[in-house]
C-alpha cells in the first residue's frame, strides 16, 4: 500500500474523467480570459509598438530601470541581513529561561508584527530625518531599511521560536543529559536544526522583503517602481508597458533568490549528512 493511499482513497476511473474535464474547462477559461485581455489591450492601443519601443531603448534601462533595480537590491540586501540578526536575537530571546527577557522580546516582536510595514517605513524616515539628522538623500533609504527590518525581523523571530519548539523534545533532553546548559543546547543543537527546517519559510520572507521595498516610493526612495514611473517625465507615460517590465524583473529576482537558497540548502545538507557505510558479511 502506498503512502498516498493511506491518506485518501485513490480516484477511480469516473473521478479521473471528472478531474480531466475540470482541468480542460479551467484551461479553456484561463486562455479565453487571456485572449479577451489581449483584445481589449489591442482595442485601446496598448499593444502599439510606439508604447513598447521605449522599454527596449538603452537610455531607458541606463537612466531608469538599472538605477532603480540597484536601489531595490541595496535596500533589500541591508534589510535581509539586519532582519536575520534581529530575528535571531529576539527569537532566541523569546526562548530564554529568564522571564523578563522572554517577556520583553515577546512584546517587541508582537508589536512590530502588528504594525503595517508602510507605517514603520514612514516612522523610520521621519526618525532618521528629524532625530538622526542624516542627509535628505539618505533618509529615504534608512526609512525603508528600518521599516523592513523591524517588520520582517519580527516575523523571522517568530519563525525561530516556532521552529525550535517544533523540534522533538528528545534533542533538548539529550543535550541536557550530557551536561549542556539550556543556552548551549539552543545555540549548538536546536537552533541550527530549526534554521534548516524553516529555510523555505525564510526564502518566502526574503521574497516579501524584496517586494515590499517597492513601498519605498511613498517616502520618495528611488527604487525600481518609482524609477519606472519617472519614464514619463519627458514623454507620454507608458504605464502598462513599464509595469509589465517591472513585473518580469521581480519574477526573475524571486526565481534567482529561490534557486540560490535551494543551492545553499543542498550544500549545507550535504555537509551535515553523515555518510553510511554498509559492510557486507564475509563469505564463510
Distance between CA 27 and CA 103 in Å, rounded?
Answer: 52
pLDDT reported for residue 278: 41
Mean pLDDT by 10 residues, the chain (284 residues): 51 84 92 86 75 81 88 93 93 85 92 93 91 86 94 92 76 70 71 76 86 89 83 65 87 85 69 46 50
The neighbour count for residue 70, using CB atoms within 10 Å, is 14
Domain ranges (residues) in the chain: 66-264
Look at the block and give the residue holding cell 474535464.
Answer: 21
Distance between CA 89 and CA 133 in Å, rounded?
Answer: 28
pLDDT reported for residue 282: 53
Q: pTM of the entire structure? A: 0.76
pLDDT reported for residue 196: 76
Taking CB atoms within 8 Å and a gap of at least 24, the contacts of 262-271 are: 265/196, 265/199, 268/196, 269/196
CATH of 66-264, one of 3.40.50.10330, 3.40.50.1360, 3.90.1300.10, 1.10.3720.10: 1.10.3720.10
pLDDT reported for residue 4: 45
Residue 102: CA count within 13 A, CB half-sphere: 6
pLDDT reported for residue 8: 54
CB burial string 204-237: b at 16+ within 10 A, e below: bbbbebbebbbbbbbbebbbbbbbbbebeeeeee
| Chain center to CA of 25 | 33
Q: With helix as H, strand as E and coil as C, how does 16-81 read? A: HHHHHHHHHHHHHHHHHHHHHHHHHHHHCCCCCHHHHHHHHCHHHHHHHHHHHHHHHHHHHHHHHH
Amino acid at each position: 500500500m502506498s503512502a498516498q493511499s493511506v491518506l485518501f482513497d485513490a480516484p477511480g476511473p469516473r473521478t479521473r474523467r471528472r478531474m480531466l474535464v475540470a482541468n480542460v474547462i479551467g484551461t479553456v477559461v484561463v486562455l479565453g480570459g487571456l485572449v479577451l485581455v489581449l483584445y481589449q489591450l489591442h482595442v485601446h492601443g496598448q499593444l502599439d509598438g510606439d508604447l513598447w519601443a521605449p522599454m527596449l531603448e538603452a537610455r531607458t534601462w541606463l537612466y531608469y530601470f538599472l538605477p532603480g533595480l540597484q536601489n531595490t537590491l541595496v535596500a533589500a540586501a541591508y534589510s535581509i541581513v539586519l532582519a536575520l540578526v534581529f530575528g535571531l536575537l529576539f527569537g532566541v530571546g523569546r526562548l530564554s529561561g529568564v522571564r523578563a527577557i522572554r517577556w520583553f522580546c515577546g512584546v517587541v516582536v508582537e508589536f512590530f508584527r502588528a504594525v503595517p510595514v508602510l507605517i514603520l517605513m514612514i516612522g523610520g524616515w521621519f526618525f532618521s530625518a528629524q532625530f538622526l539628522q542624516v542627509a535628505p538623500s539618505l533618509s529615504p533609504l534608512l526609512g525603508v531599511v528600518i521599516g523592513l527590518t523591524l517588520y520582517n525581523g519580527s516575523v523571522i523571530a517568530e519563525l525561530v521560536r516556532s521552529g525550535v519548539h517544533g523540534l522533538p523534545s528528545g534533542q533538548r533532553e539529550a543535550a541536557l543529559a550530557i551536561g549542556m546548559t539550556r543556552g548551549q543546547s539552543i545555540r549548538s543543537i536546536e537552533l541550527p536544526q530549526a534554521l534548516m527546517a524553516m529555510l523555505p519559510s525564510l526564502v518566502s520572507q526574503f521574497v516579501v522583503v524584496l517586494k515590499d521595498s517597492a513601498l519605498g516610493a511613498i517616502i520618495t526612495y528611488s527604487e525600481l517602481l518609482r524609477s519606472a514611473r519617472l519614464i514619463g517625465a519627458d514623454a507620454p507615460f507608458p504605464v502598462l508597458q513599464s509595469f509589465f517590465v517591472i513585473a518580469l524583473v521581480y519574477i526573475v529576482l524571486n526565481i534567482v533568490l529561490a534557486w540560490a537558497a535551494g543551492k545553499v540548502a543542498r550544500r549545507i545538507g550535504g555537509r551535515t549528512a553523515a555518510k553510511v557505510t554498509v559492510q557486507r558479511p564475509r563469505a564463510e
